Structure formats: structure tokens, C-alpha cells
Structure 1
């Protein structure tokens, strides 16, 4: 299904996308970043926080480590400000890149078993599917944030994977 190169590419793609989102969120007034815009996690910051929390959850599962705790609903309050989120997001993106850079082909094979708070039960799925989900989940919510920013008149940047600058491929 996938391999380490796929993971390396999408870890860098996420970092590239999150970099411009950080710039936009940190530049806007706190009221605008936290205004309920009708999205599943309410605001831009709430959605950004949820993605950060979910990335922490999934990476912990994939590494066999302890997760960040909290619930999906609580995830929207993870970081109180855009600046706090920006610092935590940059750290998480660096962790994802290091994780992806160190992956061996065998580490995307086999199954992953975990307790899912969302499902309320133990779940077992192929590791490759879980990795694809982690990256896809972040991309989907970044699309929501892109739409919220665009609707509020904020200039956004390209989101197409093929437009990722070459320097981000080696970031």
C-alpha cells in the first residue's frame, strides 16, 4: 500500500502546509482565530489544535508510546493561543519528519491494535492504513482551515502536493 518514501513526502508536505497556516494564525487577532465559524471544532484555532492532538495520538500509537491523553472534544482547547499552537505545531512537524526519515519498510507492515476512544473499543487495523489515515486526517482539516481563512478574506497559499517547493522535499 505505502512505504517509507510516501511517509517522508507527506510528513514534509504537512510541515510545508502548517508553516503558512502558522503564519496566518499568528498574524490574526485572537478573537478572529478563536471565533466559532461553524466547523466541527468551531474555530480556526480549535481545528488546528485538534489536528495537532490527533497527530500526537497517531504518532504515539505508531511508535508504541503513551499518547497525549484527553478526548477528541477536548482537543480543540489543546493550546490557548495561536503562538502556543505554532510552537507546538513546529515541534510536532519536526517529530513527524524524524519519524518518517527513520522508517524501515517493515515498519509500515502488519497490524496496529489500540483502544479507540472515538469507537469506544479496541481496534485492529493495518499499520499502513493507520499511517494513511494520520496524514489524510490532517490534510482534510487543513482544507477546512483553508476554507475558513478564504471565507474570512485572508490570503492563503497553494495546497496542491505537486506544487510543494523542492526545498521542502529535503527540509
Structure 2
């Protein structure tokens, strides 16, 4: 991975989250928080989980570890969560825009929530962090299809076309 590729992932990530939140903003509070068959139980809880994952991973990347649980609900309402998501995406963009190749090629030692310590290539861990978001955005896409809000197209090609 190169710094430019990381920046492209961060820019796509920003766009995909903004697009997804725009669609979610059209949900009623009832539909937004409705219990649905899914790992985190609702659209709201899944959006919170994505933010938790980013705070955990980017905290590790920036050597500012966060003490969070994967099922934490950081924000109870959509507006606060949306603001936090925007701020986190700006943090991620800033991180990506300022990384060097030497840093990308380095190894990161970190401790998991379970207390286990690992050392892995930073570039692979960054790919994992973005893949984690994509995975859970896909789950929200499925949950949106169970509402009256049409799930947005979030593929990379849609992002590329939106840049023209």
C-alpha cells in the first residue's frame, strides 16, 4: 500500500459514510432504532459499532488507545452520532493525508480488547480497518432494504463517478 492508495481509501470511506448517513437520515426514529435480525440488532447500533471500531483502530494507529467494547453505543441519537462520524472521518482523512511510506511499511504492536498483544504490518491493519467499515456498511444496506428508504449504492465505482 502507498500513501496515495491509503488517502484514496480514506476519501472513499468519507464519501460512503456520508452517503449512507444521508439515506439513514430519511428514516423515522422508529425504523432507525427498530430491532432487526442482525449482529448488532439495529441500524443505530450497527452505525455505533462502526464508529467504535474506527476509534479503537485509529487510536492504536495514533498511539492513543481507546478503552471501548465492540458493542458500546457511544451516542443515543442519530444527530450526535452523525456529527461524531463526520469528525471521525475527518480524523481518518487527516491521518491518511499525513502518513509516510516508512510508516505504512512499519509493524504495529497493539493490545486487543481481550488483552492479547500482537504485532502486525500497519498497511494490512489499515486495510482491515477500512474493510471492517465496508463489511458493516453492507449490513446496514441490508437493514435499510427492510425499510421504506432505498439503500444507496456504495460501490467504489459509484464513488469514482461522483467525483467527476
The answer, yes or no, to whether TM exceeds 0.5 is: yes
Q: Which residue in the other structure is 2:32 paired with?
A: 33
Q: Which residue in the other structure is 2:69 paired with?
A: 71
Q: Within the alignment, does 1:141 sit opposite 2:136 as a pair?
A: yes
Q: Where do residues 21-170 of structure 1 align in structure 2 (5 Å cutoff)?
A: 21-67=20-66, 69-74=67-72, 77-118=73-114, 120-165=115-160, 168=163
Q: Which residue in the other structure is 2:13 paired with?
A: 14
| Residues 70-103 of structure 1: CA deviation (Å, up to 9, x unaligned) | 21122xx111011111100011111111111111
Measure, in 2, the Cα distance between the counterparts of 1:144 and 1:164.
Answer: 19
Structure 2: stretches of 5+ with no match in the other structure = none
Measure, in 2, the Cα distance between the counterparts of 1:34 and 1:156.
Answer: 16
Structure 1: stretches of 5+ with no match in the other structure = none
Measure, in 2, the Cα distance between the counterparts of 1:86 and 1:138.
Answer: 15
4+ residue runs over 4 A deviation: 165-169
Q: Give RMSD over aligned pairs.
A: 1.7
Shift of residue 33 of structure 1?
1.2
TM-score, length of structure 2 as denominator length: 0.92
TM-score, length of structure 1 as denominator length: 0.89
Give the number of aligned pairs.
164
